[in-house]
Structure 1
């Protein structure tokens, strides 16, 4: 009932609620104290149960500073996605000590010393800060265990102890089942496969619609099993067939993948085979476009004509050595969508036909992405003082709390709030991303629609009768552009909207990919200039108080649009980008609290946004 009422509030002006689909909000990427990096950087107390309680709107005690904290608006679903690598082992040793049964005197002493080192490191005032500066961030899978050992985290051999691993996994899956309430709140079972070979982030979040009973038949696949995505996909094939459960794998932080996430060859250096494309297309239906470690839509170097391309840019690799950030087309979503068109022309299939979602990647166990209620990535950087920098690492440039983005959320159009329905929506790509605000968004493409379709009580039925929703494919050559329509409404508790844009990518007659951003609807009495650029919406943010006014912008925008540059011979994709008016960034809230003029040059304001999944046109 709460979900239906929320949907009605969000979409009242557009009558866009339909019997077939409802809008559900969630976070598919959250770490608890079962992740080795989460517990070593301040999260000793938030496990899966507390994470689900927080997501549902209940107050919890913050794991670092001990204050009562509560999410501003509860979520409809949550995936606790702890690292499969050393899953729960650091927490286990911290709480119970390394097991010594069957060990000789020397190994028993080593296990005891390992346990002591972990406890002292985690409990000491400076322990979490030390771990923050020297995280075990494997350059390749062969050195992962060595780097853990360097930090005193070699767990007396328990990293290979299946008994402990199964015990921890059973606790995680039992918590998910306990908090899963079909129709009211969905607690998914999932984990993170954290391949990071050579410092290139190739991580995937794995989610299943199965329950604890089906999950008891396997242990989460980790990069210690293999660092190659193709091996993960093969494992998903076999495990799905063996258990009857379905899965999805979601790439995240492609922005720091060193060009490998969306390359034109496999990680083993081979051309994409038909089998490779089929496996990737089966399991990787959506990707994270925005999260705490920055925005992965595009980059100014890749989209120089896009005035909004430089948004929450994160230029820190996950590795120990100093390494300057290099922009690559293989790192960003828009470029990957373009690459997919080119590969499809060459091989007949598109490996990069994916939908877009956002999620947080918080390691505090506290889900959601609220700019004025942001608890940081790690528990230890949750207070304003620590966001200025946990430690001074003189040998390399390291990210601060203010480099992180208070982002994002996954929005899902599904028939009901259940594991099966939500996963099915993810797999058909009827989903979208926001950077935190709950901007209600619908996007369709088709033809021969009624003139009053935007005001129709049967909008969804009318739209899909001769068209497709976001995530769909329009096939078959036509003489004129398909008609697109977009309905966007502000977060009921948030800021007005600036504009709706449609981003197009296409394959030209020479086989080259192109892109263009169209302003298709906007607030106020603005008009594009001679160059076609729309003037800024304005800025109502009060820097002294970290407040803003909805005196500019519009509460809702809607548009019917056809592509003025449409060529029926050219394959293309279209996705929607909705921009809010400027609002205070979390760095400004902290600066005001610290009585600073600014957060040391970090942005005071942000234009939060939503990204729809694309719609593809295939002649």
Structure 2
């Protein structure tokens, strides 16, 4: 998010993120149980909470407001639950529940350049162009330095010769290596296996014509291996294929493995999940397998809205209008496209698998923040904003609101990743992402679990070791089911409310499938809900109610349920049709973050064209049925 007084295309692109086997390597066929999954350990796994998408002032766009956003140490300390100073205000801030893991996803393009120049880092100040940029910063501030670094025409104070000097020196391997070492060293300082995991990563900020095709990248390896490569930047590529090639070459050379997470696809104008490669050719099996290998998980929600689906794509989904932002990175609205939304991508993946034998879009699901303050905040009543510039209530609402591309009041206090891992360490978390045993939430820490198999019964769900039974006789979220004599799969599903949050409204299963003609379909099933409501004839469920007091921004848990669980069987199962199933969990309505600001400023919430309440939610990774 940036001020409109500096209309720099790439800066907006950064702030707005601010991105050969047929089956993934961990998947194996277990013939006896007729399931395809990673071999699970005895017993259970632990639920870890993390944010894979946090930016510090080492990102160019996060530095555009000068020192108003956090440095990398502050970002890590905040995530670990320590009190820190918010640079914009000097206020002490702290989260009451630390994260278990985090990826510092600072942009590879211009990594650390602005912050190192502003700090007078001797290693970078030996370059004459860095001295010139330091002078610009001291005289004109952070935004002028960012204009110079990004180099957009009349916005840049650099001459053409100085710009060429910048390109040659500030994008050199030597400068990148110094910045990358700073990222690695910080991750190593704060990584504490069993307590907090600092995954080493970056953001690949590819945005042709301001269409967001960014990926967040992280590795399973530690600093010793990460020092053997440099982050791959957007200016080094013509398309995602180049990123995948980088992964393959780097893995062969260093042993490092990678996960790339497509994010914020609602701002891609259909480019994120388009069905052609960089040359405009339809996918073939080799390309689809390569993409499937590296992109195992997708970001379904973040500060700039939800990318699950859109009412125009899912007209029968009454909850499809959640936190929508269908536009370019510049804020210009675009046509609704299947290539911009996760559910459509999952459907297209089934169709592509039918056509070429490989699913290029077999995505697990997470949420993340895309915070550019350095502070990962997802709570509606304690939202720190996208940038330091939109932290205060008056920055977001009223006559003094900051004029920015994405108005702060329209942003979402989201999201988080829930990960079912063997341990809290780099390899275990990486393995969970690779096998897709992850889920996303819009912020609350709802505990969501799903297993799919053919022999589950209510007694299994009621047992104290139900998760162990799920692993032993089925697949967890992210897995693939093979046929079992035409029997319909059975799903064990459990959702538990956030201990510090709202009760649950309902649990739904979202099914997508492809028919014999290659046409895709979707349907929403209500599988568990609170209260004494009954399904209508059309399969929908009456609303749960609303306890929010719009005069005080408070609610009560007098409706809803603390836990919802079910063993569910698809009533419309066709053993010949490929399908996916994912769980969506909805909370009861609660106050949205801008309602708190409006009441604090004395603004009538009814005068703001945004619903004052929100139904926070969680999305599991799918389970795929493959005929």
| TM-score exceeds 0.5 | yes
Cα deviation, 1:280-335, whole Å, max 9, x if unaligned, reads 0110000000111110000011001101000000133113xx74321100010000
Q: What's the offset of the Cα at 1:179?
A: 0.6
Cα deviation, 1:5-58, whole Å, max 9, x if unaligned, reads xxxxxxxxxxxx984301000000100010000011354562222111100100
Q: What's the offset of the Cα at 1:165?
A: 2.0
Q: Distance in 2 between matches of 1:152 and 1:501?
A: 54
Q: Tell me which residue corresponds to 1:24.
A: 48
Q: 1:337 aligns with which of 322, 346, 357?
A: 346
Q: 1:269-284 to 2 correspondence within 5 Å?
A: 269-284=280-295
Q: Distance in 2 between matches of 1:413 and 1:83?
A: 27
Change in Cα spacing, 1:148 to 1:217, as seen in structure 2 (3 Å) is farther
Change in Cα spacing, 1:450 to 1:527, as seen in structure 2 (3 Å) is closer
Secondary structure of 2:102's match?
strand
Q: Distance in 2 between matches of 1:100 and 1:41?
A: 21
Q: What's the offset of the Cα at 1:380?
A: 1.0
Q: Distance in 2 between matches of 1:501 and 1:100?
A: 54
Q: 1:442-521 to 2 correspondence within 5 Å?
A: 442-521=449-528
Asked whether the 8 Å contact 1:42–1:378 carries over to 2, the reply is no
Q: Distance in 2 between matches of 1:152 and 1:293?
A: 30
Q: What's the offset of the Cα at 1:532?
A: 2.4
Is 1:358 the counterpart of 2:367? The answer is yes
Asked whether the 8 Å contact 1:63–1:364 carries over to 2, the reply is no
Q: Distance in 2 between matches of 1:372 and 1:241?
A: 47
Is 1:606 the counterpart of 2:611? The answer is no
Q: 1:56 aligns with which of 80, 95, 117?
A: 80
Is 1:535 the counterpart of 2:554? The answer is no
Change in Cα spacing, 1:121 to 1:318, as seen in structure 2 (3 Å) is farther
Q: 1:67-86 to 2 correspondence within 5 Å?
A: 67-86=91-110
Asked whether the 8 Å contact 2:62–2:69 carries over to 1, the reply is no
Q: Distance in 1 between matches of 2:328 and 2:395?
A: 21
Q: What's the offset of the Cα at 1:368?
A: 3.6
Is 1:421 the counterpart of 2:445? The answer is no
Q: Tell me which residue corresponds to 1:558.
A: 565
Q: Tell me which residue corresponds to 2:297.
A: 286
Q: What's the offset of the Cα at 1:174?
A: 0.7
Secondary structure of 1:234's match?
helix
Q: 1:261-272 to 2 correspondence within 5 Å?
A: 261-272=272-283
Q: Distance in 2 between matches of 1:387 and 1:424?
A: 39
Asked whether the 8 Å contact 2:69–2:372 carries over to 1, the reply is no
Q: 1:111-260 to 2 correspondence within 5 Å?
A: 112-122=131-141, 146-147=151-152, 150-152=155-157, 157=166, 158-260=169-271
Q: 1:573 aligns with which of 576, 580, 586?
A: 580
Q: Distance in 1 between matches of 2:595 and 2:382?
A: 12
Q: 1:300 aligns with which of 290, 311, 324?
A: 311
Q: What's the offset of the Cα at 1:264?
A: 1.2
Asked whether the 8 Å contact 2:59–2:106 carries over to 1, the reply is yes
Asked whether the 8 Å contact 1:578–1:609 carries over to 2, the reply is yes
Asked whether the 8 Å contact 2:396–2:402 carries over to 1, the reply is no
Q: When the two structures are aligned, how many residues end up with a matched partner?
A: 579
Asked whether the 8 Å contact 2:512–2:521 carries over to 1, the reply is yes
Deviates more, 1:472-481 or 1:407-416: 472-481
Deviates more, 1:111-120 or 1:23-32: 111-120
Q: What's the offset of the Cα at 1:462?
A: 1.3
Q: 1:404-419 to 2 correspondence within 5 Å?
A: 404-419=411-426
Gaps of 5+ in 2: 1-40
Q: What's the offset of the Cα at 1:480?
A: 3.1
Q: What's the offset of the Cα at 1:147?
A: 2.1
Deviates more, 1:31-40 or 1:501-510: 501-510
Q: What's the offset of the Cα at 1:117?
A: 2.4
Q: Distance in 2 between matches of 1:91 and 1:70?
A: 24
Change in Cα spacing, 1:588 to 1:111, as seen in structure 2 (3 Å) is same
Q: Distance in 2 between matches of 1:413 and 1:202?
A: 27
Q: Distance in 2 between matches of 1:181 and 1:111?
A: 35
Is 1:87 the counterpart of 2:78? The answer is no
Asked whether the 8 Å contact 1:43–1:364 carries over to 2, the reply is no
Q: What's the offset of the Cα at 1:64?
A: 1.1
Is 1:385 the counterpart of 2:390? The answer is no
Q: What's the offset of the Cα at 1:208?
A: 0.7
Q: Tell me which residue corresponds to 2:20.
A: none
Asked whether the 8 Å contact 2:591–2:614 carries over to 1, the reply is yes
Change in Cα spacing, 1:111 to 1:101, as seen in structure 2 (3 Å) is closer
Q: What's the offset of the Cα at 1:571?
A: 0.7
Q: Tell me which residue corresponds to 2:16.
A: none
Asked whether the 8 Å contact 1:42–1:379 carries over to 2, the reply is no
Secondary structure of 1:519's match?
strand
Secondary structure of 1:417's match?
coil
Q: 1:585 aligns with which of 587, 592, 599?
A: 592
Asked whether the 8 Å contact 2:395–2:402 carries over to 1, the reply is no
Secondary structure of 2:152's match?
helix
Secondary structure of 2:525's match?
strand
Gaps of 5+ in 1: 1-16, 137-143
Q: Distance in 2 between matches of 1:450 and 1:360?
A: 37
TM-score for both structures, normalised by structure 1:
0.89
Q: What's the offset of the Cα at 1:219?
A: 1.2
TM-score for both structures, normalised by structure 2:
0.88
Asked whether the 8 Å contact 1:43–1:363 carries over to 2, the reply is no
Secondary structure of 1:369's match?
coil
